[in-house]
Amino acid sequence: MKPEWLYTPPKPLDEKTAAAARERQAQLTKPPGALGELENVAVTLAAAQGRERPRVDSVWISIFAGDHGVVEEGISAFPQAVTAEMVKNFARGGAAISVLARTLGAHLEVIDLGTVVGLSGVPGVVHLNLGPGTANFTRADAMSTDQCALALEAGRGCVAKARAEGAELFVGGEMGIGNTTAAAALACALLGESPERLAGPGTGIDKAGVARKAEVIARALSLHGAHFGDPLEALRRLGGFEIAALTGAYLACAQSGLPALVDGFITTAAALAAERINPGTANWFFYGHGSAEPGHVRLLDALKARPLLSLGMRLGEGSGAATAVPLLRLACALHNGMATFAEAAVSEKL
């Protein structure tokens, strides 16, 4: 049975507040549109928050971790033990996202959904133990119905905590050796694309490795292809615990009215799944950066998304999104703090 909460309609953006924010932008001491995308960011945040002068002082970052059975097909440059090792690194504060969260003053939580190297009792980590990673999706469904539902609910629960703590922006990140393969497979299913177009180097495999990844994905698409008309079923059969949790988080963000800043390739695959499951969800998304992973461009195009940064990043962990948070804060500062023509006694355009 499908979780009914997935289909609760997204909260509508406040168009009255958006209009007021656009009017304020028109009165600020600058030529119209001179601040480019920063103006659109401020207006959209105003509409999302229901206040003409938005802010993103309180940022919540949830990192979801899980292993992938498809790794046994030889599609990764790193062993699966790295997933659990990185979970510990997140908790100790040594990972890139840990540094970024501290620098931003953001709340960071780490959710271990299920790893091959079983974890328990790691300080600062929530252990949900959905299984020792997903199944190999070239031979079986990646997740059972119950596992997928629990992963989706894990994401929803993180957003509920973020809302309760007064978060103004949600950032989702991921960790899972093999998850670029899962994300590419899911993207192929949702977009009807070929694996050759969407498969990329991930953690650093060579050209031959990318070709093998594409071949592995092609086998999975052949096995599960009859079910791709249902995006939730595509997610269950091809996704990962962390991809499902991100999907649930993005759905919950839209339903509860919390803007989400989407990271790179893997999180954008989850964002597209969320939008396909419940259309209108993507109205609540900002996109942190354009990943160096080749399939990301196609996902962004499908979502009609304009990433804020293009820095050649492909780390994951939510790092690209976190790097873009200062831009959102600056957009708010400019929108809120600039003088109007009347306040500054500056002549307006003739």
Q: What is the pLDDT of residues 279-320, one digit of tens each?
A: 999 999 999 999 999 999 999 999 999 999 999 999 999 999
Phi then psi dihedrals of residue 107, to 5 deg: -80, 130
Q: What pLDDT, in 10s, does the model give residues 191-243? A: 999 999 999 999 899 999 999 999 999 999 999 999 999 999 999 999 999 99
pLDDT greater than 90 at residue 347: no
Q: What pLDDT, in 10s, does the model give residues 132-167? A: 999 999 999 999 999 999 999 999 999 999 999 999
pTM: 0.97
39: annotated active-site residue: no
Beta bridge partners of 107: 60
Angle, helix 295-302 to helix 179-191, in steps of 10 degrees? 40
Give pLDDT, residue 350: 63
Side-chain half-sphere exposure of 51, counting CA atoms within 13 A: 10
Q: What pLDDT, in 10s, does the model give residues 180-194? A: 999 999 999 999 999
Q: What pLDDT, in 10s, does the model give residues 246-271? A: 999 999 999 999 999 999 999 999 99
The residue type found at 148 is: C
Report the Cα 57 to chain-centroid distance in Å.
Answer: 19
The residue type found at 342 is: A
Picking from 190, 236, 194, the residue whose alpha carbon sits closest to that of residue 213 is 194
For 316, the token pair is 């994951």
Give pLDDT, residue 1: 75
Helix (H) or strand (E) run with residue 296 in it: helix 295-302
Alpha helices in 93-206 (DSSP H): 96-104, 145-164, 179-191, 195-198
Helix or strand or coil: residue 65? Answer: strand
Average pLDDT on 101-128 reads 97
How many other β-carbons are positioned within 10 Å of the β-carbon of residue 285? 21
pLDDT greater than 80 at residue 348: no
Average pLDDT on 92-109 reads 98
The answer to whether the CB of 259 falls within 8 A of the CB of 249 is no
Question: Active-site residue among 165, 317, 343, 348?
Answer: 317
